[in-house]
Amino acid sequence: MASTFTNLWDYLSFIMTKLQTLEEFYSERSLPKPADLVRGKGHLNVFRIEEQNADQALPVVFNRKDYFKICLTKGKSRIYYADRSFEINDYTLLFANPLISYNWEALESEQKGFSCIFSESFFTNYGRLKEYPVFKSGGFPVYELNSTEVCTISSIFKQMIEELDTDFEFKDDVLKNLVFQLIHSTLKMRPSESIIQEKQNASSRIATLFIELLEKQFLIEGNDDRVQIRSPSDFANQLAVHVNHLNKSVKDVMQSTTSELIMQRLFKEAKILLKHSPWNVSEIAYTLGFESPTHFNTFFKKYASLTPSQFRGN
């Protein structure tokens, strides 16, 4: 696949313009394509990392994937997740979702563990997958495990592999339960400090809808895409509420103003694009909805104390 591009930069420019699909995941690793991908059904599969044909696959490029992934890895590596990076030295558990760009870089040849990939449609009408903090924007996606925790998590992955080889009529339900068991076991080990204790009231519902709509503005697949909704009044119009009601609800639940959250998310996306896309500063400014590169420079310097070009060069 890489041979169709003149250099790695051209390849990165191409890959940043699109989501990686499940079909591409299998093709890039020279793995047989499962039948349920062809039929358009929900899909789930589990691999032992050491058994994947990594030598023939391209590196995991920083972009969003059109599927969820839960990985247990052992070996020195580095994970880039949104605007954060994590150095890995031993067993680590990663939760990745289609809204967040990420990549994984091996820093030594010997890597082992398990990787579970699945489509959102596999869980249609089953559980509340996206409501768990491990799959939410702003949640903590990387967990370093001790030896006891590794045994617990490894046993669940092994059960999944065994179940995939059965012809049990309800094996999909068993697999779904095992995915939730992975999530629940992790959260019991490492309760998330960032979980907002939601109250079932109008304010929390409005704040949740606002955050979901905010994240959707950043499903950027090419430099001709553009953030369309940027002001609190724009979000209020989309949510069919008065802007004052939106601002109060968001402040009550999130302890930050609507404008602060919008600006923080713009700044986060700016850092991601500057570090991981091949687009120039003018293209990034346009994509993020700024009137000009000058406006973007002023905005970025306010938050980073550096110009976009200086940040990119660091």
Domain CATH code at residue 122: 2.60.120.280
Same domain, 20 and 166: yes
Same domain, 25 and 162: yes
Q: How far apart are CA 174 and CA 162, in angstroms?
A: 11
Same domain, 208 and 294: yes
Mean pLDDT for the stretch of residues 79-101: 80
Q: How far apart are CA 154 and CA 141, in angstroms?
A: 18
Same domain, 225 and 148: no
Same domain, 141 and 256: no
Q: Is there a domain that residue 23 lies in?
A: yes
Give the range of the structural domain holding residue 171, as residue numbers without chain letter. Answer: 2-189
Domain boundary among 168, 189, 210: 189
Q: Is there a domain that residue 123 lies in?
A: yes
Q: Is there a domain that residue 206 lies in?
A: yes
Q: Is there a domain that residue 196 lies in?
A: no
Among the listed ranges 52-56, 62-66, 197-201, which one has the minimum average pLDDT value?
Answer: 197-201
Q: Is there a domain that residue 238 lies in?
A: yes
Same domain, 86 and 147: yes
Same domain, 114 and 211: no
Same domain, 131 and 209: no
Query: Where residue 61 falls among pLDDT bands split at 50, 70, 90?
Result: low
Domain boundary among 189, 217, 252: 189
Same domain, 41 and 97: yes
Same domain, 151 and 244: no
Using the predicted structure, report yes or no on whether residue 205 has a pLDDT greater than 80: no
Domain boundary among 143, 166, 189: 189
pLDDT at position 172? 94
Using the predicted structure, report yes or no on whether residue 153 has a pLDDT greater than 80: yes
Q: 83-122 burial, b if ≥16 CB within 10 A, otherwise e?
A: beeeebeebbbbbbbbbbbbbbebeeeebebbbbbbbeeb
Q: Is there a domain that residue 134 lies in?
A: yes
pLDDT at position 192? 45
Q: Are 273 and 83 in contact (CB under 8 A)?
A: no
Domain CATH code at residue 275: 1.10.10.60
pTM over 0.85: no
Same domain, 183 and 236: no
Q: What tens digit of pLDDT does each residue of 257-269 get?
A: 999 999 999 999 9
Q: Is there a domain that residue 67 lies in?
A: yes
pLDDT at position 130? 83
Q: Is there a domain that residue 17 lies in?
A: yes
Q: What tens digit of pLDDT does each residue of 212-256 get?
A: 888 888 877 666 778 888 899 999 988 888 999 899 999 988 889
How many independent structural domains does the chain possess? 2
Among the listed ranges 68-82, 117-131, 134-148, 152-166, which one has the minimum average pLDDT value?
Answer: 134-148
Among the listed ranges 29-38, 89-98, 299-308, which one has the minimum average pLDDT value?
Answer: 29-38
Using the predicted structure, report yes or no on whether residue 282 has a pLDDT greater than 90: yes
pLDDT at position 196? 34
Same domain, 21 and 170: yes
Q: What is the rounded average pLDDT for all residues in the chain?
A: 81
pLDDT at position 155? 97
In sign, the C-alpha dihedral spanning 181, 185, 190, 193 is: positive
Mean pLDDT for the stretch of residues 118-146: 84
Mean pLDDT for the stretch of residues 36-53: 79
| Residue 81: half-sphere exposure toward Cβ, Cα within 13 Å | 22
